[in-house]
Amino acid sequence: MTTARRKTAILISGRGSNMTALIAAAADTSYPAEIVLVLSNRPGAPGLDRAAAAGLPTLTVDHKAFPDRESFERAVDAALVAAGVELVCLAGFMRVLTPWFIARWAGRLINIHPSLMPSFRGLHTHERAIAEGVKIHGCTVHHVVPDVDAGPIVAQAAVPVLSDDTPDTLAARVLEAEHRLYPLALALVASGRAVVEDGRVRVAGDAASPALLSPN
Ligand code: GRF
């Protein structure tokens, strides 16, 4: 018996390396999500070419063409609905979303952030992790809520911070972990194994396989 795969859109603004990792995972027809649309708010984002090369529908909704944030988001929302999208993955999408959009997609909207939340919300996470002298850093896939880089955590991956790391070397190590983590986290959400309960994500079966939550 085959189960329906959840129709998923990926929202990007740039190079789209996490998008590429999600597309690669979803190329397997047994993966519980199917990528049906890649949408960028930036015309010419390199990720758009990568998605088109993989044979996926792409769309640009240029935020600069809209008078305000909400009208931009209404256009994005209409495109998602038209494509039959059920789940949305933000992957380097550099627009803060309004409470209206977040409420509309609540529980179906996830993001990847390059830190072990709740540490280092915001920008320049690798530089700040080095400055603080932390020895473990990493990345988090979480549900999107109106607070930026907050929300119920689906899964996390950790990497060591080495004494000679620069923000670039640390970013590269975290990015490799991101590419393993995001496909795993989307699979948990799309399959219904990861469910938000009382503001936290409960993952069915994690006691038997803790690696579900952290692909280190
Ligand atoms: C990643 O580091 C992601 O964690 C952050 O933005 C970056 C996007 O990179 N949200 P890419 O476009 O997926 O290569």
**pLDDT tens-digit series, residues 97-127:** 999 999 999 999 999 999 999 999 999 999 9
Kindly give the number of the ligand 1 atom that is closest to the alpha carbon of 13.
12
Q: State if residue 112 touches ligand 1 by the CB under 6 angstroms criterion.
A: yes
Token pair recorded at residue 2:
């085959």
Ligand 1 centroid – CA 41 distance (Å): 15
The reported pLDDT for the residue numbered 177 is 98
Which residues lie closer than 8 Å to 203 by C-beta, 6 or more apart?
154, 155, 188, 193, 194, 212, 213
The reported pLDDT for the residue numbered 3 is 73
Substitution site in 175, 176, 179, 186 for ligand 1 pocket (most atoms within 8 Å of beta carbon)? 175
**Which pTM was predicted?**
0.96
Q: State if residue 114 touches ligand 1 by the CB under 6 angstroms criterion.
A: yes
Using a pLDDT cut of 70, give the percent of the chain over it: 98
Query: Is 70 exceeded by the pLDDT of residue 186?
Result: yes
Kindly report the protein residue whose alpha carbon is nearest to atom 8 of ligand 1: 92
Query: Is 60 exceeded by the pLDDT of residue 69?
Result: yes
Ligand 1 centroid – CA 200 distance (Å): 23
Q: State if residue 180 touches ligand 1 by the CB under 6 angstroms criterion.
A: no
Note the helical H segments in 54-200.
69-82, 99-104, 125-132, 167-190
Q: State if residue 121 touches ligand 1 by the CB under 6 angstroms criterion.
A: no
Nearest C-alpha neighbor of 144 from the set 91, 67, 191, 183: 91
| Residues carrying an active site annotation | 113
